[in-house]
Amino acid sequence: MWPGDWPRPPVWQHNGHWQTIGAALWCRAGGPTAVRWQRTRWLTPDGDFIDIDHAVPPGAVALVVLFHGLEGSSASHYARAFAAVATQRGWGIAVPHFRGCSGEPNWAPRAYHSGDYEEVGWMLARAAQQWPMLPRVAAGVSLGGNALLRWLQEAGESAKATVRAAAAISAPVDLAAAGAAIDQGWNRLLYARHFLRTMRRKAHEKAARYPGLFDLQRALAARTLREFDDAFTAPLHGFRGVDDYWRRASAKPHLHAVRVPTLVLNARNDPFVPAASLPTPQQVSADVHLWQPARGGHVGFAEPIAPGDWRGDVAALPAQVLPWLARAAQIPLA
């Protein structure tokens, strides 16, 4: 059973927007000491690279592979919180960066997208090669959560050879519903504009390296994620347009195909993952466990760590998710 009153955010985080923004900008992320990442570069079969940041302490008993969200990285608040809690409790953590998200433009024509299950599968296979003796679980946040779910669906029973359990956090499993939500009203000002700032810059860099792949002027003129995905993401990855991309990349229609114990965690006050778009128990397999608390925002889930703590700590999220993964995977967690 899930904690009935979780999370209990700081009092000033009184709605989904504040829980989202507060966690990203002002909350602690797992304690005062930052985890020291090591970086490894993996060369991909198509002549590109993936940068993976990892922290695997001596004697680690397991590895969690964490897939970040849209324009995220190992520096994102949730990645730092997962790293702190995992390493404190005897696990290692690895954060593969989607292409273009590690601080250096990638080399190949492709980038990344919400349904990038082939890339997720390749990353997990490489993690298994690098840490073959450690049992593995996977977690994905927002876009990374949807992409992880799509891999679990495509892999079916074979996913068990790579990971023992998985978790998707704040995943936009219905991309059309999430895209419509983020492009409207305050969401468009608070979130879409923030994402588009770096996405348009990356589109410009991609066009300089590979002219003619997509309509650069349309991508640069985009003022919504829908417009950007139609101009850039869809054509770059072989989709017929934004509607084809969002339909084929959404995880919700295929959750019945998941065969690995998987937690799907979504707050019902997430500003751009509408509660009405979330899956129901009837739409998922017996291996999928839905947790839909009333609070948490989008990848928020912060709680105070002591009376009078006004900032809160995002470590409240991995403090719930990692024990669930440990139980599902039958791996000890200190």
Which sequence positions are flagged as catalytic?
142, 270, 298
Chain centroid to CA 81: how far? 13
Q: Report how far residue 205's alpha carbon sits from residue 9's, in angstroms, rounded to the nearest whole number.
A: 39
Give dist(CA 51, CA 81) in Å, integer.
20
Q: Closest Cα partner for 266 from 175, 191, 169, 138?
A: 169
- Contact 231/219 with Cβ under 8 angstroms? yes
Q: Residue 203, SS3?
A: helix
Q: Where are the beta strands (DSSP E) in 170-217?
A: none
**Residue 43, C-beta contacts closer than 8 angstroms, at least 6 positions apart:** 49
* Alpha carbon distance 14, 85 (integer Å): 26
Question: Count of CB atoms within 10 A of residue 235's CB?
Answer: 19
DSSP three-state, residue 262: strand
Q: How far apart are CA 43 and CA 23, in angstroms?
A: 34
Peptide bond into 7 cis (omega under 30): yes
* Structure letter (DSSP) for residue 303: B
d(CA 196, CA 211): 20
CA distance 237 to 53: 25
C-alpha span between 107 and 46 (Å, rounded): 9
Contact predicate 68/98, CB 8 Å: yes
CB 315 within 8 A of CB 84: yes
Cα separation, 135 vs 280, in Å, equals: 30
